[in-house]
């Protein structure tokens, strides 16, 4: 009977194991559970409560068909500009992750995002255990530009260098499909004078659509001075290394 209540246990993994979650993510789980258009859970589960393979237990879910969406950021991160903006909606197909928006309508990259979802059934008079396996939902881009001193503005501030990354979307659904508008992602660059290099660190973006390709435009003191056009698109889980010089660009994807 739909009115009968039983306990349901949830195991949280990354790349198929709880050990990988504890080692590589070790963050709180943001959890949404839906039954039709009813949201049965919209909560944050501290990592300590499911660490070392311990299951999360729910005792208030009646028998029926459910959909679940969960996400985590690496480390015990608070919700801030480095975490996604989330719209849970009233049903799972409306669930969205969004890049944060800052000054001049720029989108900001994410530090990390691991996401997963599953559909499951709770039968009458049965206790059940289910597993949600999280995946890396971001494309991580690393940019290094060599021998850049000759194209930097002479006398310009080397503390005011940034890029616009084009070729991704502002939003993503629970199945890693791009949604929303095209995004222009802002990220600062660091100039390493002893190596005459510009380096970006990690730029975490949401996936591209099939028609999009990545373009990087570099600015110094609000003036463009370098552009890289690629044939690559952002794919969830990929790590893209762009190694560029004034006249040559090498791209490696892991």
Residues 12-55: pLDDT tens digits? 999 999 999 999 999 999 999 999 888 989 999 999 999 999 99
pTM score of the predicted model: 0.90
- Beta carbons of 87 and 96 less than 8 angstroms apart: yes
Average pLDDT over residues 180-204: 91
Residues 158-171: pLDDT tens digits? 678 899 999 999 99
Between residues 63 and 13, the one the model is more confident about = 13
Residues 6 or more apart whose CB falls under 8 angstroms from that of 248 comprise: none
Residues 85-143: pLDDT tens digits? 999 988 999 999 999 998 778 999 998 999 999 999 988 878 899 999 999 999 999 99
Would the CA dihedral through 96, 54, 79, 15 be positive or negative?
negative
């Amino acid at each position: 009977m739909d009115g009968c209540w039983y306990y349901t246990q949830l195991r949280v993994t990354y790349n198929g194991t709880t050990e990988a979650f504890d080692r590589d993510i070790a963050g709180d789980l943001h959890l949404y559970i839906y039954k039709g258009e009813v949201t049965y859970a919209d909560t944050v589960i501290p990592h300590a409560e499911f660490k070392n393979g311990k299951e999360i237990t729910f005792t208030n879910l009646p028998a029926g068909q459910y959909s679940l969406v969960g996400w985590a950021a690496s480390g015990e991160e608070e919700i801030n500009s480095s975490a996604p903006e989330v719209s849970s909606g009233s049903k799972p197909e409306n669930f969205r992750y969004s890049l944060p928006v800052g000054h001049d309508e720029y989108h900001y990259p994410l530090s990390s995002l691991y996401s997963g979802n599953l559909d499951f059934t709770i039968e009458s008079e049965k206790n059940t255990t289910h597993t949600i396996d999280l995946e890396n939902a971001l494309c991580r881009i690393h940019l290094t530009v060599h021998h850049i001193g000759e194209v930097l503005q002479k006398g310009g501030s080397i503390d005011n260098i940034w890029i616009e990354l084009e070729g991704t979307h502002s939003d993503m659904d629970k199945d890693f499909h791009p949604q929303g508008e095209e995004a222009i992602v802002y990220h600062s660059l660091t100039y390493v004078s002893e190596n005459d290099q510009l380096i970006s660190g990690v730029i975490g973006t949401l996936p591209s659509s099939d028609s999009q390709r990545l373009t990087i435009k570099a600015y110094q003191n609000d003036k463009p001075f370098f552009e890289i056009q690629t044939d690559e698109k952002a794919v969830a889980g990929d790590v893209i290394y762009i190694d560029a010089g004034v006249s040559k660009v090498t791209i490696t994807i892991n």
